[in-house]
Structure 1
């Protein structure tokens, strides 16, 4: 009778078991070895909630790396099936709600990639409620805080004019709270690596990425040389933060074999870096590889726009360059910001052509974005604001000069240029004003002048319509939260 009683009381604990095979599968998924992970998962019990979670993780990685619309349509019904299967498992386990929330967040991420923003939003809201409930029931269960901490950061960086929406939906959190939770979950042996990566991505895409953060990233990658996902995200983080050479190192040293999931977008990133280095022929080769192998809809407009730049900046005739911009208008979609910017440039160029000084501004922009500040400064030194005719170009010239000096760790030299770019941009609400205000906020934050920093972060938020509004607003709100 005792044996029978014990068997009944312990069965629910078997609903979520991290077997050695499942741990290996999770490790492989974190490295983007999706096929070997799937093979390992086949050997595990389909009733184990951990396997259900990892099956879903494998699907999510397959979808977001391929951007294949047909695959998304085929896989999409699996979300409800897996959520139903997880909900039927032991609700007294701290894993039950965590796994449901993880599945919802997998699908939110996938849906965003495929332009299903509304459905993705509902998945995020439901995931938040599941994780919040789990936190109340099991406050010391560390895995809860990996995704809950991420959501708290996201909620904390919502622009002021949308805070009421978050409150109405019951979503509450701050950037600092989320960061503390991500730090806490790094003590968990299962989710440590993923939490470390998320923490670095929060610093790169929402906060301000520092030299110390760059060193931490380098240590993480060097400690995991066979992890393609870390090399990929390391490259995107460093590229985003104007360290093109370091991004190139991560990509050229990435692990390569048929065992890893294909990542066509790496060709797009390599093209970007070589374009920033003014190596137009090499950049063109990488962009052509991307558009010939990629099956999705994101980054197509961006890539054809960059193919235009490779030819245009190399001095090719309008007959050769113009068709690339015409293609921009007919391919892909405008879900990601780089595609929106490509569409806007193509429409303007095809309607009005280029001004005499537009090439020099473009060369300076590309070089500065990649962190090649010597080249960027050399492009702009022969010019001053008076040589540019339109308000847009005057604002861009000043913004580029400010960013060059800022990247060269000379904030005092950057300040007058960024202030001037902001002043020129305000009447017409140009994007250069919003991004200048954001950088001014960072400079004064670094100087510990909280009043000035707060004023400029709020100014960045005040710009109503520009192609970088989502990212600028998120960063400005995060900056205000830190103050």
Structure 2
């Protein structure tokens, strides 16, 4: 009898101990993703940062801090800093990176989520640091994130969430220009574009939590690194239309459309964006609308939005470019006296981290040295109209002129490059090729960027024609141009094209 009581007591004790430990783990599991945290993640992806912080506080009140809460909190900091571009706020929030990484380091290491979130936070801050000119620190964060994700993939190969960012890194590293390849190899960074795109596709198809984010990454890689075709554009429109309350998607939908010369589509997406106090303040959207209206030749309206951007914006990027656009809105209408103060401001405001600001600064310096001719107005009108996809207006700006109309080598090369782009977009490849080849010939003496961009487009055109040898020749030619305003983007695209063709 006593043995039976003892056995029953021991059984009850161990049963109680087991369930108390099990329930305790379930309640305090640091890697648990609660419904509240899922809602917070969904909202941060929509730029509803105020809601996100309220949900995180609600979650915090329920028990111990969760790893996913730290990830979402960091995501909120990232979008806030990238959107606001405020240096003061960057300096205020920067210490959060080390605090969050330290918190994750103290969690159990027997979960793939630990390395995943550590890597994601490092990538968040890499993007932020690049925006604020901290390139060296950003590079180290990318390297550490890559190593964490690679280790995660080896330890937990079936944990597919690893591949959202690892796939992206495989594509970016795989598209690195040849002169950087030795660095990536030395650091143990291996890129593979097809593999990376497959990994991202797997996330889209199988990961319910990160699928939408991976879908956006896939579209961005096509737009900025690979090639962007009608199939990608259809996918973009379907994606954005299905997320009417998502400001982030409307922003990227707008910028991708603008990148591909679809100004009217971009304007429509911009006008359809969700608005309200729920969303992060986003002055850059005013800049984008001003740019599209400038491309359309609606100068008065463009100035309204560009000035609104300057009034609301507290950041450091795109200030030079905005002042250049304000200059152009007057200069192209023959209002030189009104235009000049804006051009002078280009040299004294903001930074020159982004390509648009670098171009603005170079243009202003050239103009001050009287290296910009009056004939440049025709080229600028053609450029703006083409960038917006307004092809008849772009062609009209150049139609009355020949190469001899332009006084210097730079303008002559640009004249042929602009015609090449217009004719290529009008599906007149043979006529386009003639202008590209002339642009390359005129660019060689001074290594003008029109030669590099013309070579890149010739590579794409010969690739489409099935002439692999000529395509490879021109992609390599694009890479061989020394430093110019658009070297990073041209080299990335040329390297990506060569890699996909199996050329090292």
TM-score normalized by the length of structure 2: 0.94
2:269 corresponds to 1:250: yes
Task: Pick closer, same or farther for the CA change 1:3–1:432 going to 2, 3 Å.
Answer: farther
* Number of equivalenced pairs: 482
Displacement after TM superposition at 1:444 (Å): 1.1
Residues 327-406 of structure 1 mapped to structure 2, 5 A cutoff: 327-352=345-370, 354-406=372-424
Equivalent position SS for 2:97: helix
Aligned to 1:17: 32
Contact 2:326 2:342 in 1 (8 A): yes
More moved, 366-375 vs 1-10: 1-10
**1:449 matched residue in structure 2:** 467
**8 Å Cα contact 1:235-1:251 kept in structure 2:** yes
Distance 1:355 1:6 in 2: 82
Distance in 1 (CA, whole Å) between partners of 2:378 and 2:49 is 44
The corresponding residue for 2:440 is 422
Q: Is 1:465 aligned with 2:479?
A: no
Alpha-carbon offset, residue 3 of structure 1: 4.3
* Secondary structure, counterpart of 2:157 in structure 1: coil
CA apart distance, 1:426:
1.5
| 1:6 CA displacement | 5.7
- Does residue 41 of structure 2 align to residue 26 of structure 1? yes
2:187 equivalent to 1:169: yes
1:243-322 equivalence runs, <5 A: 243-317=262-336, 319-322=337-340
User: Separation in 2 of the partners of 1:135 and 1:298?
Assistant: 37
Contact 1:176 1:481 in 2 (8 A): no
2:224 is matched with 205
Q: Equivalent residue of 2:71, what SS?
A: helix
Query: Residue 130 of structure 1 aligns with which residue?
Result: 148
Q: Deviations over 1:210-259 (max 9, x none)?
A: 01110100000111111110000000001011111111010001111111
Matched, 1:482 2:478: no
* 1:69 is aligned to 2:84: no
Q: 1:71 & 1:412 partners in 2: Cα distance?
A: 52
Give 1:482 shift: 1.4
Q: CA, structure 1 residues 7+346, in 2 after alignment: closer, same or farther (shift >3 Å)?
A: farther
| TM-score after normalising by structure 1 | 0.98
Write the deviation string for residues 107-164 of structure 1: whole angstroms up to 9, x where unpaired: 0111111111111111000000000000001111111011001111110011001100
Q: Quote the offset at 1:427 in angstroms.
A: 2.0
Taking the aligned partners of 1:405 and 1:222, their CA distance within structure 2 comes to 32
Task: Render the CA deviation track for 1:407-436: whole Å, top value 9, x for unaligned.
Answer: 122222211111111111122110000100
TM-superposed CA distance for 1:356, in Å, is 2.8
Distance 2:264 2:146 in 1: 38
Structure 2 CA distance, aligned partners of 1:4 and 1:413? Answer: 81
Select which of 89, 102, 108 maps to 2:107. Answer: 89
Q: Is 2:175–2:191's contact at 8 Å kept on the other side of the alignment? A: no
Structure 1: stretches of 5+ with no match in the other structure: none
**Which segment drifts farther, 445-454 or 368-377?**
445-454
Q: Which runs of 4+ in 1 moved over 3 A?
A: 5-10
- Give how far 1:184 is off: 0.8
For the pair 1:48 / 2:61, whether they are aligned, the reply is no
**Higher Cα radius of gyration:** 2
- 2:5 corresponds to: none
454, 476, 493: which is aligned to 1:436?
454
